[in-house]
Amino acid sequence: MSDECDVLLRDGGIAHIRPLGPGDVPELHELVERVSEKSAYLRFFTGGRATAHAYMDAIARPGHHGRVLVALVAGRLAAVAEYIPDADGAADLGVLVDDALHGTGLGTLLIEHLALAAAAEGVTRFVADVLTENKVMLDVLSHVGLPVEITRSGPDTRVIVALTAGSRLAGTIAARDHEAERASLRRVLEPRAVAVVGAGRDPGSVGHKVLRNLIDGGFPGTIYPVNPHADEIAGWPAYPSLAMLPERVDVVVVAVPAKAVPDVARDCAATGVRGLVVLSAGFAEHGGKDAERELLTICRTAGMRLIGPNCLGIVNTAAHLNASFLRGTPEPGGVAVLSQSGAVGAVLLDRLPISSFVSVGNKADVSGNDLLEYWEDDEATRVVALYLESFGNPRRFARIAARVGRRKPVLLVKSGRSEAGDRAVRSHTAAAATPDIAVDALVRAAGVIRLDSIRDMYDTARLLETQPLPAGRRVAIVGNSGGPEAMTADTCERAGLAVPALTPGAELRRRFPSAALGNPVDLGAEASADDIGLAIESALADDQVDVVLVVYTPPFGSGAPATKEAIAKATRHAVKPVIACVLGEDGLIDGRVPCYAYPEQAVQALARVVDYTKWRNSPAEEVETGGFDDLTARALLSGQAPEGWLDADALDGLLRHFGIPLVQTISVADADAAAEAAAALGGPVVLKVVGPVHKSDVGGVRVGLATPEEVRAAFTAMRESIGAEMTGAVVQPMVEQGTEIIVGGVNYPAFGPLVMVGMGGVTADLLADRAFRVPPFSAATAEGMIRELRSHPVLYGYRGRPPADAQALAEVVRRVGLLMDALPEVAELDLNPVIVTPGGAVAVDARIRLAPAGRPPSPFIRRLR
């Protein structure tokens, strides 16, 4: 656990949690004086405040062996919590919270943080002796999300909290986090009063544009221009400072030079502002990282959320809020947009019907993760569209996006596909698993629709915003020109969509007795608008159709205007999705039928939506989240150098701890030891060099060695040919022949772990037949990875071969995921090959490289970035 962090409270406020410091003693005593006599009695039993003061002195003395955390709210110490460990793995727990903050979830937050710290130190359970009348504390402990045992004995109740983390705790913490995030951002995106600091008289100035947009957008709350040099701006009374406003405002939009922004933020803090939208540039994007950190510290201390700096502003069409300096009035609709780029945000805002829009700029505080939490419950939002240049916490993004995606689609364009890896890589897995592949694996598992361009995002978003989700992938193609329709059918099949044969309705057959109506439905160039409308209705009525795609080539037939009117009429009551391609035209027909200029656009957008629908309708993966920390696994690494390849004994112990089967392996340092190992194993053995990464390339693998003498000679020959690069060798028994598979993992500090499975052995890099996932995942997902491989039939009885044990291989893949998830210091892992036979799967060669790595953010701890 990090020593200190900022956290969101249930009401959307912000607290700062950190260890107790020597300078905190006066504030500890002030806290005791602020709490009521009843609160002091419930916490300390007899003695009241006198006992409480003595306790505060005790925990602050040097040598106190408890772990003490304090929480500061608005810069004042507002809570203290500690555990005192016993020798038997238990720890006494105590919490005291300022009466004014009861009900904000602060006590629960402190217990969560203490639990993570205690588990990392080997504590197995908290023990809390609580007065039976202390219903609040009993309720907090009962609902923290951990197994609880409660024993009542008259006026006293003992609560034992087992520090056994799992999916229940992760889900409980996620629900509390969601509630706090939602409350925090509601105060920013649904304000009652807004002030614009830096609103000038010049219509071309940024501040004036924001003020004008607020006024013209019909914001129903109060608007306050703040400018010390004006009495009135745009017809509204201006005020010289925030302190002079007649009421407290929720949001302040800042449009002043960067050097003046911190002072404005301090004024906001002093007047109780809830959110700050900083349009000003000149911070981290121009080297001003210290100034940006100062700004964030001011906001966090005051409990304000910060959007920006260096952003375009915010929009919420449902609240008639346009606090941006963009031209034009956004069209209300169901697409929520986040953009880390101002230019990209302006394009999307101009072309999409918007529920809300947030330009996050430098993303110093509010990020995509925060906004996903808000938009999940936003009734006006039906689609979420994100343009990101970076992830703040990728794994948390995946968890939130997967949950949101079950209710509404999440679209993502992420720049930086060619980013180089964060750490030098030398294994097969690390060479294959680039950071961009990791992003693909992350978002795919979360059901996020990843797109290559803003055009793709626009195409996909308008389909999702206007049409119901398709029930399947069967497409009826209706139109007036055979060439474009045939091209559309070809594109559908390449995209994995089906174009089934259709039985046209009687009226359509009567009108077009000689036309090709089987699918595509080609009515010919002379078909009228009414004819096309009839064909659409016929296709919609067909049970073999999930989606209707209309392809019209103007100016034939009745012309584009009449044909679009016919499309609108025929689809007015449709319950299946309908999309159109009117060649050369982009937009919406009748405000609700997406229209594309080219068939490829339409099909690609449709294919993305079909794939998303399949994911959304599939059962959500249930993965048991790992515990707080794997102390045994960490102990196995304790004697190893912080960077470099694991030695054979540590490697063997670590793999066996995670249940990953490894063929019996004996490490040897010289030829005599190799011969002795062969004699001990008996039968044919394999000798493998230790040192070089690619053993086969340097002649470092000798198989089928029948006698100890052969092993001795092979070792000597290897030593002579490989030289100093050979640091030793291992001897293993020969195993049954089977299919060679590679299973591996790589860990990027900025992203997290990634697991790979592919065809293995010496052809692993040549074939490049691989599948990737972000751990942890289930055995079913692991088997799905195996079936993604182009060569997977060789495992399932290809050409009469006996089927291999694919389930055993899937279990190996799953367990590698558990290892990579538990140990971020494992930079690279290769099991190459894993031999898969009808009787099981076993790794015959393994390598693990360690590298220094910070602990990734835990799913069991709530904190702001």
Residue corresponding to tokens 């990282």: 289
Residue 424: pLDDT above 50?
Answer: no
- C-alpha–C-alpha distance, residues 551 and 547, integer Å: 13
The tokens describing 296, both together, are 């964030």
The tokens describing 687, both together, are 């000798």
Angle between helix axes 394-405 and 599-617 (nearest 10 degrees) is 90
Give the pLDDT mean for 697-724: 92
The residue ranking higher by pLDDT, 478 or 515, is 478
Nearest CA-CA partner of 842 in 722, 740, 730: 740
Give the pLDDT mean for 660-675: 93
Residue 167: pLDDT above 90?
Answer: no
Residue 422: pLDDT above 60?
Answer: no
| pLDDT band at 649; cut points 50, 70, 90 | confident
SS3 53: helix
Give the pLDDT mean for 240-251: 97
Q: Residue 390 has what pLDDT?
A: 85
Residue 1: pLDDT above 50?
Answer: no
Residue 623: pLDDT above 90?
Answer: no
Residue 794: pLDDT above 80?
Answer: yes
pLDDT digits (tens, 9 = 90+) for 527-561: 999 999 999 999 999 999 999 999 999 999 999 99
pLDDT digits (tens, 9 = 90+) for 469-513: 999 999 999 999 999 999 999 999 999 999 999 988 888 889 998
The tokens describing 672, both together, are 């005599």
- C-alpha–C-alpha distance, residues 181 and 148, integer Å: 27
The tokens describing 264, both together, are 């404005």
Phi/psi at 496 (nearest 5 deg)? 85, 15
Q: What number of residues does the chain have?
A: 865
Q: What is the CB-side half-sphere exposure of residue 304 using CA atoms within 13 A?
A: 30
Q: Residue 57 has what pLDDT?
A: 96
Q: Is 45 left (phi over 0), alpha (psi -120 to 50) or beta?
A: left
The tokens describing 307, both together, are 């959007």
- C-alpha–C-alpha distance, residues 803 and 797, integer Å: 4
Phi/psi at 567 (nearest 5 deg)? -60, -45
| pLDDT band at 421; cut points 50, 70, 90 | very low
- C-alpha–C-alpha distance, residues 348 and 369, integer Å: 20
The tokens describing 542, both together, are 């067909």
The residue ranking higher by pLDDT, 763 or 135, is 135
The whole-model pTM stands at 0.90
The tokens describing 497, both together, are 């969509």
pLDDT digits (tens, 9 = 90+) for 354-382: 999 999 999 999 999 999 999 999 999 99
The tokens describing 2, both together, are 């990090």
DSSP state of 203: T
Residue 423: pLDDT above 50?
Answer: no
Instruction: For each of the domains in the chain, give its residue range(s) and CATH number, in order of start.
Output: 5-165 (3.40.630.30), 184-417 (3.40.50.720), 468-617 (3.40.50.261), 623-663+735-865 (3.30.470.20), 666-733 (3.30.1490.20)
Residue corresponding to tokens 């290769």: 830
Distances (CA, A) of 778 to 455, 677, 775, 793, 811: 35, 38, 9, 22, 9
Residue 105: pLDDT above 60?
Answer: yes
Q: What whole-number percentage of the chain has pLDDT above 70?
A: 97
The tokens describing 352, both together, are 């999409």
Q: Which amino acid is at 301?
A: T
Nearest CA-CA partner of 234 in 199, 204, 193, 191: 199
| pLDDT band at 436; cut points 50, 70, 90 | confident
pLDDT digits (tens, 9 = 90+) for 28-54: 999 999 999 999 999 998 777 899 999
pLDDT digits (tens, 9 = 90+) for 401-414: 999 999 999 999 99
SS3 789: coil
Nearest CA-CA partner of 224 in 260, 195, 186, 258: 195
Answer whether 433's CB lies under 8 Å from 746's CB: yes
- C-alpha–C-alpha distance, residues 361 and 374, integer Å: 18
Across the chain, what does the average pLDDT equal? Answer: 93
SS3 167: helix
- C-alpha–C-alpha distance, residues 375 and 601, integer Å: 27
- C-alpha–C-alpha distance, residues 552 and 767, integer Å: 43
- Mention every residue, 6+ apart, whose C-beta is less than 8 A from residue 77: 24, 27, 28, 30, 31, 70, 71
pLDDT digits (tens, 9 = 90+) for 291-350: 999 999 999 999 999 999 999 999 999 999 999 999 889 999 999 999 999 999 999 999
Nearest CA-CA partner of 592 in 563, 566, 561, 571: 571
Q: What's the burial of 212, exposed, middle or buried (CB within 10 Å: 0-12/13-18/19+)?
A: middle
Phi/psi at 775 (nearest 5 deg)? -80, 165
